[in-house]
Amino acid sequence: MPEQALYLDPLPDPLIALPDNFRSRFWQKDPSLWPAGAAADVAGMLGWVDVLGKVGAHFDDIDAFVQGVIADGFTKVALCGMGGSSLAPYVLREVFGELPGGLPLTVLDSTHPGSIQAILDSGIENTLFIVASKSGSTAEPTTFDKFFFDRVGNPNAFVAITDPGSPFHRDAEARGFRKIFLNYADIGGRFSALSLFGLVPAALLGVDIRKFLQTAQDYAAALQVDESDAFDLGQALGSYAKTGRNKLTILTDDRLASFGLWLEQLVAESTGKFGTGILPIAGEAVGAIDVYGEDRFFAAYNVLPVANPSFHVHFDDPYQLAVEFLRWEVATAAGGAILEINPFDQPNVQESKDVTKRILAAVEAEGELPETDKIFPASNEKLSEFLGDVAAGDYICIQAYLHETAELDVQLKTLQANLRDQYKVPVTMGYGPRFLHSTGQFHKGGPNVGHFIQLLDDPQDTISIPGQRADWTRFVLAQARGDYEALAEKGRRIVALNLGAEPAQALQTLIS
C-alpha cells in the first residue's frame, strides 16, 4: 500500500458519534446502520463492501480478453456510459496516462452532437466500444449503443458491462457482442469503481489490476484492524454538515483534477436528499481567503488549503487511486449515517429523466421540440438580474450543455472563479448531461439554496439517431429542457441562457 498521510485539522465541534460499533457492523454489511432506508433495499446495495474479495476471480478472464482485443488489431477504446459507469474509468485514464501495452481510452458521457462528431472524426474502424450500464436501460448509453452499432455493424467490436439479467444483458447476447461482463447486482453505480466497471477499462489501459486490487485490499485490511481514517473522515463530513459546513471544496494538483469529478458524484448523489446533504465543489480555482464563507471545508490533495477546516492527503503513486476510491466510499457511507439518510439511493434522479422522456415523445410525434419562452439570449444583464438575490450560504451552479473542449473548459472555469469572487459563495460547474447522473440528485434533493445557470448553444452538427426523429441536437436540448422543468417544479431558481452558434465568443462576453 502506498505511504499515506491524512490529517483532519481541526475536528468539528461538536463531533457527532457514529452508531455503536459502526466499524465492525460496517464490515458485516449491517443495513440497520442506515435506518432511513428499508433494510432490504440497503442490504441490496452493500456489495461494494466485500467486492475486493470476489472480483479477483475475474482477472484471468480479463487478461485473456485484453490479449484478444490487441491481437485482433484494435488500437483504441471508446467507453460509452454515464455517471458511475464512466467517471472511474475517466479518472484512471487521466491519472495513469498512457502505459506500455495499453490502449488509449476515450470516455463518451455527453449527448452533445459535437462530442458524438469528435468520436466519428477520430476514426472508428479500429475502435473497441464498451457500453457500460448497470441497469441496462439508461437513455444515454442505450442510445450511444444504438448509434455506434448501426455505424460499425460489427458485434465483435462491442463489449457490454452490465448487471445480470438486465435488458442490456439480454440484448447484447442476442446481438452477439464480443464479450459481456456481468457485474455484481448489489453494487450501485457510484460505488462501482473497484468492481468490473472500473477494472475492465483499467486493464485495457494497461494498469496492473492485480497490483491495483492488492493496494485496495491492504488498505481494507488496515481499516478492519487498526486504521480508522476513512471512518474518521466520514464522521467529520457528517458532523461538519450538521453544523453548517456542508460545502466540500476539493483542491488538487493538476494531475488529480479528474478525481474531483468522481468524488463529486459519490458525495453529492449519496448525501443530497430530503433537504440535507454535502455539496462538493470540484475544479474551482484557489481564491483569496475572503471569498470563502463559514459553510466550507476542504479536501486538499498535494496542495495547501487556503483555509480550515481541511483534510490533507499526500498522493504520489497512481495506484493509490485504489485507496482513495475505497477511502471515500467508506467515508461517504459513514457520513450518511451521521446525516441519518440512506446514502445508497437517488430518489430525485428519475425526475429529469421523466420530463425528458415526455419531451422526446413530443419530438417523435411532432418532429420538433415543443416551443418555450424560458430560454434567453446570453447577456451580462440577464445574468446579473438572475443572481441579484444570492446570499451567504447559497451556491451558484453552472450547467453547461455544451461540447467539452479545452477552450470552453478554460472559459467556464474562469466564469466559475469570477462568479465566486464577485458573490463570495461556492460555484460548481458541470457539463450536461453528465451531472444529471451526479450532482443532479443534490440539485433537486438537497437544500434549496442553489442558483442554476443553464448554458445552451446552437449546435452546428446535425447527426441523426437510427430509428428516431430526434437527432443528437434535439436529444441534448430535450435533456436540458427536462432538467430545467424538473428543477423549476422543485421551486429551484434557474435561468437558461443561449450562447448561440459561437459559444466561446458568447462566453467571453459573459466573462468580461
169 lies in the same domain as 295: no
Q: Any idea which of 265-279, 326-340, 352-366 has the lowest mean pLDDT?
A: 352-366
Please give the pLDDT value at position 219. 96
184 lies in the same domain as 62: yes
Name residue, grid cell 468539528.
12
Q: Is 295's pLDDT higher than 50?
A: yes
Query: How many other CB atoms sit within 10 Å of the CB of residue 324?
Result: 22
Please give the pLDDT value at position 226. 83
Q: How far apart are CA 394 and CA 504, in angstroms?
A: 27
333 lies in the same domain as 358: no
Residue 96 belongs to a domain: yes
* Last residue within a domain, chosen from 158, 178, 207: 207
Residue 113 belongs to a domain: yes
* Last residue within a domain, chosen from 283, 314, 339: 339
401 lies in the same domain as 372: yes
Across the range 298-322, mean pLDDT stands at 92
305 lies in the same domain as 422: no
Residue 202 belongs to a domain: yes
115 lies in the same domain as 182: yes
139 lies in the same domain as 230: no
Please give the pLDDT value at position 350. 87
Grade residue 301 by pLDDT with cuts at 50, 70 and 90. very high
264 lies in the same domain as 284: yes
494-512 pLDDT tens trace? 999 999 999 999 999 999 8
Which residue did the predictor score with more confidence, 263 or 11?
A: 263
184-207 pLDDT tens trace? 999 999 999 999 999 999 999 999
Across the range 69-78, mean pLDDT stands at 98
Residue 44 belongs to a domain: no
190 lies in the same domain as 283: no
The number of distinct structural domains making up the chain is: 3
Residue 215 belongs to a domain: no
C-alpha cell at 358: 415526455
Which residue did the predictor score with more confidence, 311 or 58?
A: 58
Range of the domain at 180: 52-207
Across the range 425-438, mean pLDDT stands at 95
What's the CATH number where 292 sits?
3.40.50.10490
Work out the percent of the chain whose per-residue pLDDT is above 90.
92
- Going by C-beta distance under 8 Å and a sequence separation of 6 or more, which residues neighbour residue 393? 244, 293, 295, 425, 449
231 lies in the same domain as 318: yes
Q: Is 138's pLDDT higher than 70?
A: yes
493 lies in the same domain as 358: yes
Please give the pLDDT value at position 6. 61
Residue 273 belongs to a domain: yes
19 lies in the same domain as 79: no
**With the C-alpha atoms ordered 383, 388, 393, 394, is the resulting torsion angle positive or negative?**
negative
Residue 91 belongs to a domain: yes
Residue 39 belongs to a domain: no
Q: Is 2's pLDDT higher than 50?
A: no
- Mean pLDDT (the chain, rounded): 95
Q: Is 461's pLDDT higher than 90?
A: no
Across the range 272-282, mean pLDDT stands at 97
* Last residue within a domain, chosen from 306, 339, 372: 339
Q: Where do the H-state alpha helices sit in 287-433?
A: 321-339, 349-366, 380-386, 406-423
Q: Is 3's pLDDT higher than 50?
A: no
Across the range 280-286, mean pLDDT stands at 95
